[in-house]
Structure 1
Amino acid sequence: MIELSAMNKLQFEDFMSFTLKQYAQEKITAGTWLPEHAESRALEDMHRILPEGYLTQDAYFYNLIDSSVGDGQVIGFIWFNIYLRNGVREAFLYDIHIAEEYQGKGYGTRTMELLEKEARKLQAERIGLHVFGHNARAMSLYTKMGYEAKSITMYKEL
Protein backbone atom coordinates (compact mmCIF):
# COMPACT_ATOMS: atom_id res chain seq x y z
CA MET A 1 0.00 0.00 0.00
CA ILE A 2 1.42 3.38 -0.92
CA GLU A 3 0.58 6.80 0.37
CA LEU A 4 1.57 10.38 -0.31
CA SER A 5 3.78 12.17 2.18
CA ALA A 6 4.49 15.88 1.71
CA MET A 7 8.17 16.58 1.12
CA ASN A 8 10.07 18.77 3.52
CA LYS A 9 12.52 21.39 2.25
CA LEU A 10 15.56 19.09 2.42
CA GLN A 11 13.71 16.31 0.57
CA PHE A 12 12.61 18.89 -2.01
CA GLU A 13 16.24 19.91 -2.63
CA ASP A 14 17.22 16.26 -3.24
CA PHE A 15 14.16 15.82 -5.47
CA MET A 16 14.96 18.96 -7.47
CA SER A 17 18.55 17.89 -8.04
CA PHE A 18 17.33 14.53 -9.36
CA THR A 19 14.46 15.88 -11.44
CA LEU A 20 16.58 18.58 -13.11
CA LYS A 21 19.03 15.94 -14.35
CA GLN A 22 16.23 13.61 -15.46
CA TYR A 23 14.35 16.39 -17.25
CA ALA A 24 17.49 17.56 -19.07
CA GLN A 25 18.22 13.98 -20.17
CA GLU A 26 14.64 13.45 -21.38
CA LYS A 27 14.90 16.61 -23.51
CA ILE A 28 18.22 15.39 -24.95
CA THR A 29 16.74 11.95 -25.69
CA ALA A 30 13.71 13.59 -27.33
CA GLY A 31 16.09 15.58 -29.54
CA THR A 32 14.73 18.96 -28.47
CA TRP A 33 17.81 20.16 -26.57
CA LEU A 34 21.53 19.88 -27.18
CA PRO A 35 23.50 18.25 -24.35
CA GLU A 36 25.68 21.31 -23.79
CA HIS A 37 22.60 23.49 -23.10
CA ALA A 38 20.25 21.00 -21.45
CA GLU A 39 21.18 21.61 -17.82
CA SER A 40 20.90 25.40 -18.01
CA ARG A 41 17.63 25.19 -19.96
CA ALA A 42 16.19 22.75 -17.42
CA LEU A 43 17.10 25.18 -14.65
CA GLU A 44 15.44 28.05 -16.55
CA ASP A 45 12.25 26.00 -16.93
CA MET A 46 12.21 25.15 -13.22
CA HIS A 47 12.65 28.80 -12.25
CA ARG A 48 9.72 29.69 -14.52
CA ILE A 49 7.45 26.94 -13.17
CA LEU A 50 8.60 27.28 -9.54
CA PRO A 51 9.54 30.96 -9.09
CA GLU A 52 9.55 30.57 -5.30
CA GLY A 53 11.03 27.06 -5.33
CA TYR A 54 9.66 24.89 -2.53
CA LEU A 55 7.40 27.75 -1.41
CA THR A 56 5.76 28.31 -4.82
CA GLN A 57 2.04 28.76 -4.30
CA ASP A 58 -0.11 25.89 -5.61
CA ALA A 59 2.89 23.57 -6.11
CA TYR A 60 2.65 20.17 -4.41
CA PHE A 61 5.56 17.79 -3.83
CA TYR A 62 5.06 14.33 -2.35
CA ASN A 63 7.18 11.32 -1.59
CA LEU A 64 5.55 7.99 -2.37
CA ILE A 65 5.76 5.83 0.71
CA ASP A 66 5.23 2.07 0.74
CA SER A 67 3.77 1.57 4.20
CA SER A 68 4.02 -2.21 3.89
CA VAL A 69 7.82 -2.04 4.20
CA GLY A 70 8.86 -1.50 7.83
CA ASP A 71 8.43 2.15 8.78
CA GLY A 72 7.70 2.94 5.17
CA GLN A 73 10.08 2.99 2.25
CA VAL A 74 10.25 5.97 -0.13
CA ILE A 75 9.69 4.38 -3.54
CA GLY A 76 9.38 7.54 -5.61
CA PHE A 77 7.80 10.96 -5.80
CA ILE A 78 5.18 13.04 -7.54
CA TRP A 79 4.95 16.78 -8.25
CA PHE A 80 2.04 18.76 -9.61
CA ASN A 81 0.86 22.36 -9.67
CA ILE A 82 -2.67 23.72 -9.62
CA TYR A 83 -3.59 26.30 -12.29
CA LEU A 84 -6.71 28.08 -13.45
CA ARG A 85 -6.74 27.58 -17.25
CA ASN A 86 -9.59 28.94 -19.33
CA GLY A 87 -11.80 29.02 -16.26
CA VAL A 88 -11.03 25.39 -15.33
CA ARG A 89 -9.12 24.45 -12.19
CA GLU A 90 -6.45 22.01 -13.36
CA ALA A 91 -3.83 19.92 -11.61
CA PHE A 92 -0.86 19.67 -13.97
CA LEU A 93 1.43 16.70 -13.32
CA TYR A 94 5.04 17.73 -13.84
CA ASP A 95 6.84 14.71 -12.53
CA ILE A 96 6.15 11.20 -11.36
CA HIS A 97 8.97 8.81 -10.62
CA ILE A 98 8.89 5.27 -9.31
CA ALA A 99 12.30 3.85 -8.36
CA GLU A 100 13.39 1.25 -10.89
CA GLU A 101 13.20 -1.69 -8.49
CA TYR A 102 9.50 -0.90 -7.84
CA GLN A 103 8.45 -0.44 -11.46
CA GLY A 104 6.04 -2.90 -13.02
CA LYS A 105 4.38 -3.70 -9.69
CA GLY A 106 1.30 -1.48 -9.88
CA TYR A 107 2.82 1.50 -8.06
CA GLY A 108 2.35 3.79 -11.07
CA THR A 109 -1.35 3.00 -11.28
CA ARG A 110 -1.82 3.49 -7.55
CA THR A 111 0.13 6.76 -7.65
CA MET A 112 -2.12 8.10 -10.42
CA GLU A 113 -5.17 7.13 -8.34
CA LEU A 114 -3.70 9.01 -5.36
CA LEU A 115 -3.05 12.00 -7.63
CA GLU A 116 -6.72 12.00 -8.66
CA LYS A 117 -7.82 11.84 -5.03
CA GLU A 118 -5.49 14.69 -4.03
CA ALA A 119 -6.50 16.80 -7.05
CA ARG A 120 -10.17 16.41 -6.10
CA LYS A 121 -9.39 17.52 -2.54
CA LEU A 122 -7.79 20.62 -4.04
CA GLN A 123 -10.95 21.17 -6.12
CA ALA A 124 -9.30 20.46 -9.47
CA GLU A 125 -11.69 19.68 -12.30
CA ARG A 126 -9.14 17.91 -14.47
CA ILE A 127 -5.56 16.68 -14.55
CA GLY A 128 -3.16 17.51 -17.34
CA LEU A 129 0.30 16.16 -18.06
CA HIS A 130 3.02 15.94 -20.68
CA VAL A 131 4.67 12.70 -21.74
CA PHE A 132 7.75 12.31 -23.91
CA GLY A 133 7.10 10.31 -27.07
CA HIS A 134 9.90 7.87 -26.28
CA ASN A 135 8.38 6.95 -22.90
CA ALA A 136 6.14 4.06 -23.94
CA ARG A 137 5.69 2.81 -20.36
CA ALA A 138 4.30 6.16 -19.21
CA MET A 139 2.06 6.50 -22.26
CA SER A 140 0.65 3.05 -21.60
CA LEU A 141 -0.07 3.93 -17.95
CA TYR A 142 -1.75 7.23 -18.80
CA THR A 143 -3.88 5.65 -21.53
CA LYS A 144 -4.92 2.87 -19.15
CA MET A 145 -5.89 5.53 -16.59
CA GLY A 146 -8.18 7.28 -19.09
CA TYR A 147 -5.98 10.16 -20.29
CA GLU A 148 -6.44 11.29 -23.89
CA ALA A 149 -4.02 13.08 -26.19
CA LYS A 150 -5.11 16.66 -26.89
CA SER A 151 -2.14 17.71 -29.03
CA ILE A 152 0.67 15.68 -30.54
CA THR A 153 3.84 17.03 -32.11
CA MET A 154 5.59 14.58 -34.39
CA TYR A 155 8.95 14.62 -36.19
CA LYS A 156 10.70 12.59 -38.84
CA GLU A 157 14.46 12.68 -38.90
CA LEU A 158 15.95 13.06 -42.39
Structure 2
Amino acid sequence: MFTIRPLTQAEYDVRIPALKAEYAADEVRAGRSDPAEVTARVERQFQALLPDGLATEGQLLFAGEADGEVVGFLWIGMPTAERAQAWIYEIQVEEAHRRRGYGRALMLAAEEELRARGVTRLGLNVFGHNPGARHLYESLGFETTSLQMSKALG
Protein backbone atom coordinates (compact mmCIF):
# COMPACT_ATOMS: atom_id res chain seq x y z
CA MET A 1 0.00 0.00 0.00
CA PHE A 2 1.25 3.50 -0.89
CA THR A 3 0.57 6.60 1.24
CA ILE A 4 2.00 10.04 1.83
CA ARG A 5 2.53 11.59 5.24
CA PRO A 6 4.04 14.86 6.44
CA LEU A 7 7.83 14.92 6.39
CA THR A 8 9.46 14.75 9.83
CA GLN A 9 12.03 17.29 10.99
CA ALA A 10 14.77 14.63 10.88
CA GLU A 11 13.85 13.79 7.27
CA TYR A 12 13.74 17.48 6.36
CA ASP A 13 17.18 18.01 7.87
CA VAL A 14 18.61 15.31 5.59
CA ARG A 15 16.60 15.91 2.43
CA ILE A 16 16.80 19.67 2.03
CA PRO A 17 20.63 19.94 1.96
CA ALA A 18 20.75 17.05 -0.55
CA LEU A 19 18.00 18.67 -2.61
CA LYS A 20 19.87 21.98 -2.69
CA ALA A 21 22.99 20.24 -4.03
CA GLU A 22 21.00 18.32 -6.65
CA TYR A 23 19.11 21.41 -7.74
CA ALA A 24 22.33 23.41 -8.02
CA ALA A 25 23.85 20.69 -10.23
CA ASP A 26 20.72 20.67 -12.41
CA GLU A 27 20.83 24.46 -12.73
CA VAL A 28 24.44 24.29 -13.93
CA ARG A 29 23.74 21.36 -16.27
CA ALA A 30 20.81 23.28 -17.78
CA GLY A 31 23.07 26.31 -18.33
CA ARG A 32 20.95 28.53 -16.09
CA SER A 33 23.58 29.21 -13.41
CA ASP A 34 27.28 29.88 -13.22
CA PRO A 35 29.03 27.15 -11.19
CA ALA A 36 30.81 29.78 -9.08
CA GLU A 37 27.54 31.45 -8.08
CA VAL A 38 24.99 28.63 -8.06
CA THR A 39 25.30 27.63 -4.40
CA ALA A 40 24.55 31.14 -3.12
CA ARG A 41 21.72 31.51 -5.63
CA VAL A 42 20.10 28.23 -4.57
CA GLU A 43 20.47 29.14 -0.88
CA ARG A 44 18.64 32.42 -1.51
CA GLN A 45 15.85 30.62 -3.38
CA PHE A 46 15.34 28.05 -0.63
CA GLN A 47 15.42 30.74 2.07
CA ALA A 48 12.71 32.64 0.19
CA LEU A 49 10.56 29.51 -0.30
CA LEU A 50 11.10 27.84 3.08
CA PRO A 51 11.96 30.65 5.53
CA ASP A 52 10.45 28.71 8.44
CA GLY A 53 11.45 25.23 7.28
CA LEU A 54 8.71 22.66 7.75
CA ALA A 55 6.55 25.30 9.45
CA THR A 56 6.53 27.57 6.38
CA GLU A 57 2.95 28.50 5.62
CA GLY A 58 1.71 27.35 2.23
CA GLN A 59 4.43 24.71 1.74
CA LEU A 60 3.60 21.00 2.01
CA LEU A 61 6.40 18.47 2.38
CA PHE A 62 5.58 14.77 2.34
CA ALA A 63 7.32 11.43 2.50
CA GLY A 64 5.92 8.70 0.28
CA GLU A 65 5.72 5.29 1.91
CA ALA A 66 5.15 1.86 0.44
CA ASP A 67 4.42 -0.87 2.93
CA GLY A 68 5.86 1.27 5.73
CA GLU A 69 9.14 2.09 3.95
CA VAL A 70 9.98 5.61 2.74
CA VAL A 71 10.37 5.47 -1.03
CA GLY A 72 10.17 9.13 -2.00
CA PHE A 73 9.67 12.79 -1.23
CA LEU A 74 7.24 15.45 -2.43
CA TRP A 75 7.28 19.23 -1.98
CA ILE A 76 4.22 21.26 -3.00
CA GLY A 77 3.65 25.00 -2.81
CA MET A 78 0.02 25.99 -2.36
CA PRO A 79 -1.57 28.65 -4.60
CA THR A 80 -0.74 32.25 -3.74
CA ALA A 81 -1.87 35.70 -4.86
CA GLU A 82 1.03 35.63 -7.36
CA ARG A 83 0.46 32.04 -8.53
CA ALA A 84 -3.10 30.75 -8.99
CA GLN A 85 -2.13 27.08 -8.95
CA ALA A 86 -0.35 24.71 -6.61
CA TRP A 87 3.23 24.02 -7.62
CA ILE A 88 5.36 20.90 -7.43
CA TYR A 89 8.79 22.10 -6.33
CA GLU A 90 10.22 18.61 -6.00
CA ILE A 91 9.25 15.03 -6.47
CA GLN A 92 11.92 12.46 -5.83
CA VAL A 93 11.95 8.69 -5.64
CA GLU A 94 14.78 7.04 -3.72
CA GLU A 95 17.34 5.48 -6.08
CA ALA A 96 16.67 1.94 -4.84
CA HIS A 97 12.93 2.34 -5.51
CA ARG A 98 12.95 3.84 -9.00
CA ARG A 99 11.18 2.28 -11.97
CA ARG A 100 8.49 0.74 -9.75
CA GLY A 101 5.69 3.28 -10.24
CA TYR A 102 6.37 5.34 -7.12
CA GLY A 103 6.84 8.59 -9.05
CA ARG A 104 3.36 8.14 -10.49
CA ALA A 105 2.03 7.18 -7.05
CA LEU A 106 3.54 10.34 -5.52
CA MET A 107 1.99 12.52 -8.21
CA LEU A 108 -1.44 10.90 -7.86
CA ALA A 109 -1.27 11.25 -4.07
CA ALA A 110 -0.38 14.93 -4.52
CA GLU A 111 -3.40 15.42 -6.76
CA GLU A 112 -5.67 13.72 -4.23
CA GLU A 113 -4.26 15.82 -1.36
CA LEU A 114 -4.72 19.03 -3.32
CA ARG A 115 -8.27 18.21 -4.43
CA ALA A 116 -9.14 17.55 -0.76
CA ARG A 117 -7.83 21.06 -0.01
CA GLY A 118 -9.94 22.64 -2.77
CA VAL A 119 -7.07 23.21 -5.21
CA THR A 120 -8.12 22.99 -8.86
CA ARG A 121 -4.84 23.33 -10.77
CA LEU A 122 -1.29 22.00 -10.39
CA GLY A 123 1.87 23.07 -12.20
CA LEU A 124 5.56 22.19 -12.30
CA ASN A 125 8.78 22.72 -14.20
CA VAL A 126 10.89 19.94 -15.63
CA PHE A 127 14.49 20.26 -16.76
CA GLY A 128 15.00 19.56 -20.47
CA HIS A 129 17.68 17.00 -19.64
CA ASN A 130 15.11 14.85 -17.77
CA PRO A 131 12.98 13.20 -20.48
CA GLY A 132 11.84 10.40 -18.14
CA ALA A 133 10.20 12.91 -15.79
CA ARG A 134 8.64 14.76 -18.71
CA HIS A 135 7.16 11.51 -20.01
CA LEU A 136 5.70 10.74 -16.57
CA TYR A 137 4.09 14.18 -16.28
CA GLU A 138 2.65 14.03 -19.79
CA SER A 139 1.24 10.55 -19.10
CA LEU A 140 -0.52 12.05 -16.08
CA GLY A 141 -2.15 14.74 -18.22
CA PHE A 142 0.23 17.66 -17.74
CA GLU A 143 0.51 19.90 -20.79
CA THR A 144 3.34 22.20 -21.82
CA THR A 145 2.29 25.76 -21.05
CA SER A 146 5.63 27.44 -21.83
CA LEU A 147 8.98 26.31 -23.11
CA GLN A 148 12.33 27.93 -22.37
CA MET A 149 15.23 27.31 -24.71
CA SER A 150 18.91 28.13 -24.45
CA LYS A 151 22.00 28.00 -26.64
CA ALA A 152 25.61 28.12 -25.50
CA LEU A 153 27.57 30.71 -27.42
CA GLY A 154 31.03 29.77 -26.18
TM tier, shorter chain? over 0.9
Tell me the secondary structure at the aligned position of residue 57 of structure 2.
coil
- Residues 24, 38 of structure 2: 8 Å contact kept: yes
Partner of 2:70: 74
Q: CA deviation at 1:156?
A: 2.6
- Structure-1-length-normalised TM-score: 0.90
Aligned runs of 1:1-12 on 2, under 5 Å? 1-12=1-12
In structure 2, C-alpha distance between the alignment counterparts of 1:26 and 1:35, rounded to whole Å: 11
Aligned runs of 1:120-139 on 2, under 5 Å? 120-139=115-134
In structure 1, C-alpha distance between the alignment counterparts of 2:39 and 2:69, rounded to whole Å: 30
- Root-mean-square deviation over aligned CA pairs: 1.5
The answer to whether residue 20 in structure 2 is matched with residue 20 in structure 1 is yes
In structure 2, C-alpha distance between the alignment counterparts of 1:11 and 1:100, rounded to whole Å: 16
Bigger proportion of residues as strand: 1
Partner of 2:96: 101
Tell me the secondary structure at the aligned position of residue 45 of structure 1.
helix
Q: Unpaired segments of 5 or more residues in structure 2?
A: none
Tell me the secondary structure at the aligned position of residue 113 of structure 2.
helix
Length, aligned pairs only: 153
Aligned runs of 1:143-158 on 2, under 5 Å? 143-158=138-153
Q: Unpaired segments of 5 or more residues in structure 1?
A: none
Tell me the secondary structure at the aligned position of residue 132 of structure 1.
coil
